[in-house]
Amino acid sequence: MPGILDLIKSRKSVRKYSEKHIPDEDLRQILEAGRLAPSWMNVQSWKFILIKSRGNKDLLSKLSIGQAHVKNADALIVCIGDMNAWEEAKITHINNPALNPALQGENGLLVRTMEQVIFAVSYMMLEAESLGVKSCIIGALGNEITGVESETYREVKTKLGIGENEILSTIITLGYETEPSGTGKVRKDFDAVISLEKNGNKF
Ligand SMILES: Cc1cc2nc3c(=O)[nH]c(=O)nc-3n(C[C@H](O)[C@H](O)[C@H](O)COP(=O)(O)O)c2cc1C
């Protein structure tokens, strides 16, 4: 049984997939990992839409500036930031913005909503990896933040039933690798990003 760090090391962005289908049971398990992710004040400001149909994959590839792996993945998880999720937090007695993101203004709320979604995305990617399912995060797409592909985005929102104050933030592509390759991790050195007590002090 691999540990979490083993999964983190083996996970990599895979952009070419075989024809093999992912069992529904495994897709459920991946989505469950997202549902169980942590969030600030347990706000769970996310929604996930599983996509398997050719038509929706093509439409979402168009939204992602034509990225081929969005079209060719076996399944996609559309991750939505739900800005409505903070409504309850807005009316709690916690009136310090540092403690309550609902009071951090419009930009703050957007950042916080996306922040929560990304935890869920990470959980789902690692769960996929544990099941031998490869993935890639798609952030290059049209939405309220990038302002591109606005017509396609409108079409996507209608077709997928994405409502008011809900932002399509990320797509996760899922599938089996055509041929296993190395981990290919290119990362900054440990000492370049990790310090002890003070930035730049070696741990
Ligand atoms: C927020 C975010 C958005 C990304 N958007 C895209 C994307 O639109 N298309 C793509 O092919 N890869 C995308 N990636 C994948 C990165 O390019 C990849 O994670 C990075 O190069 C490191 O490689 P690795 O995932 O194989 O370790 C994205 C990653 C993150 C975290």
Q: pLDDT per residue over 72-86, tens digit each?
A: 999 999 999 999 999
Check: CATH 3.40.109.10 for 4-193?
yes
- As for ligand 1, residues whose beta carbon falls within 6 Å of it are 12-13, 15, 67, 136-140, 185
Q: Which of 79, 115, 116, 138 to mutate to test the pocket of ligand 1 (most atoms within 8 A of CB)?
A: 138
Position 132 scores a pLDDT of 96
> What digits encode the pLDDT tens for the residues 35-63?
999 999 899 999 999 999 999 999 999 99
Query: DSSP letter string over the chain?
Result: ---HHHHHHH--B---B-SPPPPHHHHHHHHHHHHT---GGG---EEEEEE--HHHHHHHHHHTTT-HHHHHSSEEEEEEEEGGGGHHHHTSS---TTT-GGGSHHHHHHHHHHHHHHHHHHHHHHHHHHTT-EEEEE--S-STTT--SHHHHHHHHHHHT--TTEEEEEEEEEE-BSS----------HHHH--SSSTT---
Q: How far is the CA of 118 from the centre of ligand 1 (A)?
A: 13
Position 104 scores a pLDDT of 85
Position 158 scores a pLDDT of 98
- What's the N-to-C CA distance of the chain in angstroms? 30
Q: Which residue has the tokens 């992710």?
A: 37
Q: Which residue owns the Cα nearest ligand 1 atom 15? A: 137
Domain boundaries, the chain: 4-193
User: Which residues of the chain have a pLDDT value below 70?
Assistant: 183
